[in-house]
Amino acid sequence: MKNIFVAFFAFVSFGGACQDNKNKKNKNSMIQQGADIYSFRVKSLDGGEIDFATFKGKKILIVNTASECGFTPQYEKLEELYKTYSSNLVIVGFPSNDFFWQEPGNSEDIRKFCTNKYHITFPMAEKVKVKGSDMAPIYQWLTQKKYNGVMDENISWNFNKFLIDENGHLIEKFNSRVSPMSDEIIEKIK
């Protein structure tokens, strides 16, 4: 009887692990090859939703952010860029704690930090994973050519920037050291 119980327990435990892996696969396979950015909806820091379909006709700059990073002052330049080019540009920040735990706060902490310290008005998503096996689907799309149709990229650190054109297609990635107000970015936005 004891052996039957152990065997049943192992079967149930293993079956649950398989189901968890199946759920992870399903979550990650929600991305379709050839999809554009407009198929994504993500939770926002304020509890609402960011629907990328509402950005059709504008360029989109997607940035993985962190509150305790050497590049955190780029928030100021991101806000300046957003205000300067808001007629044809949307910036979406994605807080992430993937690099030396530089975004430890919860949504409310991050929202307060962005609002109080940098007066951020552009959309901010909830904290996500931008690397690893549980990478957010939108970051899988941004970093894998099989989904975005353009390039394979890695997220090297906080404040990597991805530029999407007015038709929802990825056009370029900029590393952390490229300032949001650099000529390199502004030329692509105009």
Of all residues in the chain, the percent with pLDDT exceeding 90 is: 81
Provide the residue ranges of all domains of the chain, joining segments of one domain with +. Answer: 1-30, 34-189
Looking at the annotation, which residues are catalytic?
69
Residue with tokens 């979550």: 27
pTM: 0.84
- d(CA 128, CA 157) in angstroms, rounded, equals 14
The yes-or-no verdict on residue 130 having pLDDT over 90 is yes
> Looking at this protein, which amino acid is placed at residue 120?
I
Cβ neighbours around 87 below 10 Å, total: 6
The yes-or-no verdict on residue 117 having pLDDT over 50 is yes
* Average predicted confidence (pLDDT) for the chain: 88
Q: Express each pLDDT in 34-78 by its tens digit.
A: 678 999 999 999 999 999 999 999 999 999 999 999 999 999 999
Q: Express each pLDDT in 168-185 by its tens digit.
A: 999 999 999 999 999 999
Query: Which residue would you say has higher pLDDT here, 9 or 132?
Result: 132
The yes-or-no verdict on residue 17 having pLDDT over 50 is no
**Superfamily covering domain 34-189:** Glutaredoxin (3.40.30.10)
The yes-or-no verdict on residue 24 having pLDDT over 80 is no
Question: At 33, is the pLDDT very low, low, confident or very high (cuts 50, 70, 90)?
Answer: low
State in Å, rounded, how far the first CA of the chain is from the last one: 74
